[in-house]
Amino acid sequence: MHEMSLCESVVEILAEEARRQGFQRVKTVWLEIGRLASADPEAIRFCFDAVTRATVADGARLEIIDTPGQAWCERCAVTVEIKQRFDACPVCGDFPLRVIDGDALRVKQLEVE
């Protein structure tokens, strides 16, 4: 359940930003969780509520931005969309794919007051 430590890192980032940018409370957090990232959105949601309690983000709404997985096929020399890391290239049906996007775990944006 490393989603718990990921959420603790999110809270640290929020606390740090609150100090730097001088806000009191976070109302909404936009998290980018790529479809190929090593975190489960539902588990993140579950942990987020538990971990934000009594912090600047207590009661904050969590918006998850789901970004598609993208990979480069060396054989076809094209960028293709994949759902899982073990997907075959939809063009040639083979597996020489290298993931180039959709594996990010990022705090994108905050609504604060």
Partner 1 sequence: MCGVCGCGEGAAHLEGHSHSHAPDLSQARMIQIEQDILGKNDRYARANRDHFIRHGQFVLNLVSSPGSGKTTLLTATLNQLKGAIPMAVIEGDQQTSVDAERIRATGIQAVQINTGKGCHLDAHMVGHALDELNLEANSLLFIENVGNLVCPAAFDLGETLRVVILSVTEGDDKPLKYPDMFAGAHLMLLNKIDLLPHVDFDVEKCIDHARRVNPDIQILALSARTGDGLRPWLEWLRNQRNALLNARIAQLETQMAILKARAD
Selected from 62, 76, 92, 105, the binder of partner 1 by CB under 8 A is: 105
Binders of partner 1 among residues 83 to 102 (CB under 8 A) are 84-86, 88, 95-99
Based on the shown chain and the rule CB under 8 A, indicate whether residue 106 belongs to the binding site for partner 1.
yes
CB contact at 8 A, 69 and 104: no
Q: Is residue 23 a contact point for partner 1 (CB under 8 A)? A: yes
Among 13, 62, 64, 76, binds partner 1 (CB under 8 A): 13
How many other CB atoms sit within 10 Å of the CB of residue 87? 15
Does 24 interact with partner 1 (rule: CB under 8 A)? Answer: yes
**Which residues are within 8 A (CB) of 26 and not within 5 positions of it... i.e. 6 or more apart?**
14, 18, 56, 57, 60, 110, 111, 112
Least distance from partner 1 to the Cβ atom of residue 54, Å: 16
* Of the residues 27, 53, 61, 83, which one makes contact with partner 1 according to CB under 8 A: 27
Residues 57-86 that bind partner 1 (CB under 8 A): 84-86
Q: 19 vs 53, which CB is nearer to partner 1?
A: 19
Q: Give dist(CA 3, CA 11) in Å, integer.
A: 12
Beta-carbon contacts of 93 under 8 Å, excluding residues fewer than 6 positions away, are none
